[in-house]
Structure 1
Amino acid sequence: MHFFSKHFPKEKNSKAIFRQCNSDDSSSSARLREFFREHFDARRVEHRFRLFQRSVIRDRDRVRLHGQYYNNIYLGKRIFGPARKQMFVHSILGGMERRFEIIDNQINHIPFTHDASDKHKEKCRNSRIKCRDDTRVVLTFNDNQGLNFIHANRVSTPVLFNDFIITQAPLSNTKADFWRLVWQEGVKHIFMLISRDSAGTNRCAEYWPKHEKTGFECCGLNIVNDRVDETRDPFFRVTTLIITDGSGKSLVVEHWEGNMNNSSDIYAPLRLLKVSRNQDTPTIVHDHYGVSRAAVLVAIELTICNLLRGPTYKFPVQQAVHFLRSFRAFAVETPMQYIYIHRVVLTFIRPLVGEPESFEADYDRWLEQRGKRAFIGDPLVANVPAYRLLSPTLDPDLLSLVRHKDRPETRREIHAHIGELPIPLETTVTENSAPAIVIPKMYPKGKRY
């Protein structure tokens, strides 16, 4: 008898998955109720879970254990003598890093226009991070003088049980636009994934009333802090906000704030997604720029929903991240964030299919190697080593982007940021000889060959 049929009968498994997807709130979303009532097939879902776990285990990359090689020749201290045998280890995490390089390669860049963000640069935190025109949210509420721009993109697809709006942390000059967005879309949940101590600094404006029974007026809306709950979730601080307009209409919004930067915490995203999944209205998610932690959360949900609904892909996380970038440009920035998506999804399916073989040991070895690199941590998360953070203050994986120009809007056949090509061949002309081509002696940054 099949293991799943023996230990997890269809009815029992159906309830188990429903409990993982559904919150304690009885008013779940219409999409979620319809899926579990009419389209859910426990055996096919279990089959997709197992295929995903199998693809994670099998998609490995060879990593050298020691030695430096050039064209498969060992470069040691001795020029002569027996060659040292190359030793490799097959790394699951190395395979994930390779998958991320494929996504991030310029060949797979999805061209898009960004005329609105170019016109309103004062409302963008980073000029390099553009807002796609085709998926941006256009503000219509209280639209004075045609000011309809906000750096926010809607992620809406039949794959998801609810829609998301990914945006940057509000600036002092975009707080009013943010609340226009909340009211216009009827948003009931806001997920702030950076530290609450960031509010009031240059990383995030203090856009909501922090203290109970306080409030302010903005764009014809009255925002009041009704209560603050720090016991509902061990990680997040939940603030209930009541928004009213002049006509007497009201909207209750839950503001969840927590610094989702520790890669060791793989349960916090699942608790957040269980809350958002049960809503019929869009959920706003933001971090600093809206392309790292916020994008990771939505990519996790896209992967989980794909495993539940189908179809079957060989690499669901790669498919989810690439698909997400068609809504929010350059979402998921680093291999660490990409690997974190896998770890959270594997945690979601673990009660039904178990632990992937040798994955944790491989992850610990990868972390040990990562810890030797020059990371600088977040002072707001001082008790977590910098190399374990999803978005460290200084991330070597992003250093190659610092002095480069903006990415081109067309596909290219080579990656824009992998490696540094040497200076092209030089042509020298002397008095008594014909022009000759010589190899330069310097790299572009002044280093000799």
Structure 2
Amino acid sequence: MTEVVFLSRIQFAVTVFYHFLFVPLTIGLVILVAYMETQYARTRQLMYRQMADFWGKLFSINFVLGVVTGITMEFQFGTNWSEYSKYMGDIFGSPLAIEALVAFFLESTFMGMWLFGRDKISPKMRAFAIWMVALGTNISALWIITANGFMQHPVGYVVRNGRAELNSFYELVTNSYAWYMFFHTVIASYIVGSFFVMGISAYHLIRKQNVAFFEKSFNIALALGLFAATATPFIGHQHGVNTAQVQPAKAAAMEAIWETQEKMPFHIISIPDAKNERNIEALSIPYMGSFFYTNNPNGKVIGLKDIPIDERPNVNIVYYSFRTMVALGVYFLALVWYGFYLVRKRKLVSSPRYLKAVLYSMLLPYLAMNLGWTVAEAGRQPWVVYGLMKTTEAVSPISSSQIIFSLTGLVLFYTILIIADVMLLVKYAKAGPNTEGAVKEGLEHVS
């Protein structure tokens, strides 16, 4: 059974990580494309038409392939986690059904209108359509995170006849953990989208290709990046405070806190020794640790020693994932604000070192987001539903050979999709904008 649990966790983790390579770019990039469409509808400047077409093409590639990876993930609740589905189906099924019936149909319907109605609808209607796609992607994220939020912090339920049943839909949709997770995830996705556009723009600016087009694109993405990178630490901080309240074991693992204490310092340098339940620490800031977890410099923080050993997560995985994510967040903040300085001084195009740094950093937001989800999911262990159902109780009664077979197939299938996605994105990103099509459309509108 231990091997079945381990392999099932590996399979679901692989599926989620592959799928999540598409999701944040979809959420982040669609906002930028919608803004460009709106600016074109408002001003009729051809550059905005070119921008919406170029970045919209990259968005469409990522969107279509992302949908494919998401479908197979949901089947695992029946194949690998049937006991979980029996116990949690009444609650988990509701938000997922709403996500499929409302969000997915909203975004797919208007995606079709935006893609195939180019020559049939007005620029204003096309801008409206892509904003509806953006709304749909955010609603989709909300309902999926609502389902996950219950797993992190169960609310609005009763246990009846050996299974959890929903008795307050209001409590489910107002779950504090889910809302903090939603805003943290969506804002972080904006960083992914902005760095994607900034990175490709930097590639062309270094080569002095379509300078006006890509400088404008860079500036638009930088504005979103400034907002998202600046807001993320504040949202993340409040999310951490909430986590300490509802999941003290995860919060303690995030900073490898062993002893329950008040007025806890924050250790800038800290190396956990999980075997001996202690840390090697240096460069401490008094009271800051308590403030980070309670919003009070004198606040009390629960340590891992006050939590049963069999209810603690893997400290090293959670700790290093969290620390790396935070370090990347600080780096993103510095990068976008220095970029803002260069833009204000009109030195962006003449700063190749900065542009190369942005180009080489383009994939780092993906890493940061997946590290964040590692903290969220690994930090919840050994529970699949915190405090209600352990992961060992949730797996299907299947053999290890069956999981290995399906896992191998999933890895091969998803790897092919990722390769196709990257090849298409690189191909069209390097090709640059199609100025001829935009000029032709502009002349048609004038006539």
Give the structure-1-normalised TM-score: 0.25
Give the structure-2-normalised TM-score: 0.25
Bigger fraction of residues in helix: 2
**Rg comparison, structure with higher value:** 1
Greater RCO structure (CA 8 Å; 6+ sep): 2
Bigger fraction of residues in strand: 1
